[in-house]
Amino acid sequence: MAHGVMAPSYGYGPRPQAQTASNFELWAWLFMRISGIMLVVLALGHLAIMHVINTVDVVDYQFVVDRWTGPWSAVWRTYDALLLVLALIHGLNGVRIVVDDYVSSQAWRVFWMSLLYVGGFFFIVLGTLVIFAFTPQK
């Protein structure tokens, strides 16, 4: 039996009920919608600023220094942290749903869920740490 790990979805009809009474999937669904709407603005904005208005050719260490220590540094660090955290959780939850759909062996499901939670924690900590702890080097 699945202990907290989702029961396999067979791709037809509603998703299987969780074994334990929990609204986790409802909140996960709502989070995907709310973060999704915010990411439309944040991610498309990031893309427009970094790849259309600027180009990768101008992005270097000095670019990061100007962005994260200039007069608008608080705005940029907040923008980047919000984009990072929302995109990462949104994306990893998406992967969780894909795993739910395609991985049916209980052992592999446990493997993937562990990887997603441990990996997700690592990337969120690393990413936010970089955004807020950055100080320019000479």
Partner 1 sequence: MQAQVSGVLGRYTANKLGMYAWALHRLTGIGVIAFLLVHIIDTAFVMVGPELYNEAMALYKQPFFRPFEVALAAAVIYHALNGIRVTLIDFWEGAARIQERLFYGVLVLFALLFLPSAFIMLRPLFVR
Footprint on this chain of partner 1 (rule: CB under 8 A): 8, 10-12, 33, 36-37, 39-40, 43-44, 47-48, 51-52, 55-57, 59-62, 64, 84, 87-88, 91-92, 94-95, 98, 101-102, 104, 123, 126-127, 130, 133-134, 137
Residue 21 vs 68, nearer CB to partner 1: 68
Q: What's the min distance (Å) between Cβ of 43 and partner 1?
A: 6
Please give the Cα distance from 39 to 31 (Å, whole number): 11
Place of tokens 């052992």: 107
SS (H, E, C) 26-38: HHHHHHHHHHHHH
Four-residue CA torsion sign, 17, 119, 56, 132? positive
Please give the Cα distance from 102 to 79 (Å, whole number): 34
Q: What's the min distance (Å) between Cβ of 5 and partner 1?
A: 15
Residue 21 vs 53, nearer CB to partner 1: 53
Amino acid at 47: L
Burial class (CB in 10 A: 0-12, 13-18, 19+), 22: exposed
Q: What's the min distance (Å) between Cβ of 100 and partner 1?
A: 10
Q: What's the min distance (Å) between Cβ of 22 and partner 1?
A: 20
Residue 3 vs 12, nearer CB to partner 1: 12
Residue 75 vs 115, nearer CB to partner 1: 115
